[in-house]
Structure 1
Amino acid sequence: MFRKRLIAGLAMLTGLISNAHAALNIVMVENASGVTISYSGSIDLTDANMIGLASFAGNFSGLNPSSASLALTVVTSGTSIDSVAYTITGPASFGSGTNTFQFNQLAVTGTEGFSLAGAAGVFFLAEGYASGSMMTGVTTFMGATFASLGLTPGTYTWLLPSDQINMTIGSVPLPGAALLFAQVFAAGWLVQRRKKRIGAIHHGA
């Protein structure tokens, strides 16, 4: 019975971890330098509703928690970014902070940038982004805190037809927690098996 529960539990956790990897995961943490924002994952654009095109000036990044807005670009100033806008559904805010968007504020290193406008229900990806392609990036608001940026710790999710965007502010992302739980669960199973083997040896004696 315990073994069946283990297999079922691990299957469920595998599914959770797989789903998390399929999404775009954004994590914000406070540290000695300020507030670091990192992101990784991919977006499946199957059945996504494209609503238009937009062009952004290079290195125009920032956030506005009160309207669930976040833009992270990975190109240099003076370079324009042609982007495609897609419809999303989800939270209209992730805090009370106001506009921090400006040119050359953040040094974003990564592969692909994006722009999230949660209150408007729009998500922008660079034109030419291939559905399912990996995106990674990181930047830091130097000297900032969650309080100074008006960020409310928690987990936020925006949905596309075939994928989702997950934002975690100040807590451990799901894959890490799920993996830890799986390890504990497996350790319990091994203890149970060992007890049964010892019992069988004693009975045989």
Structure 2
Amino acid sequence: MKKVLAAALAAGMLAAAGAHAAVIMHITESGGNVNVTASGSLDLAGAVYHHQQDYSTGIIPGDSNWYVALGNTPGLSWYQLTSTTLPFGISSNYFTSGVTSGDGFALWGYSGGTPLVGLADGYASGDAISSSMMISGQSIAGMTLIPGTYTFTLPSDTIILEIGNNVPEPASLALMLGGLAAGVTARRRTRA
């Protein structure tokens, strides 16, 4: 039992360390609305610049043109992602939002081309990103979003998209596993 518990704890800690994200996006549901937040910073070392383009805020959950964009910046500089975990939704409908604030930030399937991440024009590696958006009168299920955790990578960094109200962050999962392991170990010691 000790070996199994130790292996589970080690695997949980490795998963948490490997899943570190410099930017975490949350899509949650509350009060008949879908809320989106993005926070953190990105290291652009090795990232391939693609183009500059204005954008509109909102979500396209699926299809080759999937999209999540929030913030108030009028234009974004787009960089190529090196990998994505998809799909995070199944509809090609565009759910727009006029209720958004903070730094421009977006993920985009680029109509089946190389997937991109968009950052406010003038963004420099390590700058803070903080954005929020509300899509009124919608639900996660109604937008065909699939609850779970999705990973998007750049050469030197990671973006995590978490959909759903009950998705634990990797660091929280590691703490829960650590607490479980400590409790089981303490209980075994008191029995001995």
- TM class, shorter-length: 0.7 to 0.9
Q: CA deviation at 1:116?
A: 0.9
Which residue of 1 is the match for residue 106 of structure 2? 115
With the length of structure 2 as denominator, give the TM-score of the two structures: 0.77
Per-residue deviation at 1:144? Answer: 0.4
Q: In structure 2, what is the Cα distance between the partners aligned to 1:183 and 1:9?
A: 12
Distance apart, 1:191 and its partner CA: 2.1
Give the match for residue 155 of structure 2: 161
In structure 2, distance between residues paired with 1:41 and 1:13: 23
CA distance in 2, matches of 1:42, 1:10: 28
Q: What's the secondary structure of 2:173's corresponding residue?
A: helix
State the match for 2:68 in structure 1: 70
- The CA distance in 2 between the partners of 1:179 and 1:106, in whole Å, is 37
Deviation at 1:50, TM superposition (A): 1.8
Question: What corresponds to 1:43 in structure 2?
Answer: 42
Larger radius of gyration: 1
- TM-score, normalised via structure 1 length: 0.73
Q: CA deviation at 1:21?
A: 3.8
CA contact (8 A) 1:88 1:123 kept: no
Unaligned runs of 5+ in 1: 197-205
Q: Which residue identity lines up with residue 97 of structure 1 in the other structure?
A: S
| Mapped partners of 2:123, 2:81: distance in 1 | 16
- Residues 38-187 of structure 1: matches in 2 within 5 Å? 38-52=37-51, 54-56=52-54, 60-66=56-62, 67-75=65-73, 80-91=74-85, 93-100=87-94, 102=96, 105-110=97-102, 112-118=103-109, 119-120=112-113, 121-170=115-164, 171-175=166-170, 176-187=172-183
Superposed CA offset, 1:131-170 (max 9, x none): 2344233322122012322222233222222222222222
Cα contact 1:68–1:92 (8 A) shared by 2 = no
CA contact (8 A) 1:98 1:150 kept: no
Change (3 A) 1:44 1:193: farther
In the TM superposition, what is the alpha-carbon distance from 1:61 to its structure 2 partner? 0.4
In 2, the alpha carbon distance for the partners of 1:101 and 1:182 equals 40
**Matches of 1:13 and 1:132 in 2, distance apart?**
27
Give, as a single letter, the amino acid of the residue that structure 1 aligns with 2:38.
Y
Task: Identify the residue that residue 200 of structure 1 maps to in structure 2.
Answer: none
Check the 8 A contact 1:29/1:35 in 2, yes or no.
Answer: yes
- Amino acid corresponding to residue 105 of structure 2 in structure 1: F
Aligned equivalents of 1:29, 1:36: Cα separation in 2: 5
**8 Å contact from structure 2 (residues 23, 160) kept in 1:** yes
Question: What secondary structure sits across from 1:155 in the alignment?
Answer: strand
Moved more, 115-124 or 63-72: 115-124
Q: After TM superposition, which residue ranges in structure 1, 4 or more long, deviate above 6 angstroms?
A: none
User: What SS does the aligned partner of 1:147 have?
Assistant: coil
Q: Secondary structure at the match of 2:141?
A: helix
**Structure 2 residue identity aligned to 1:180:** M
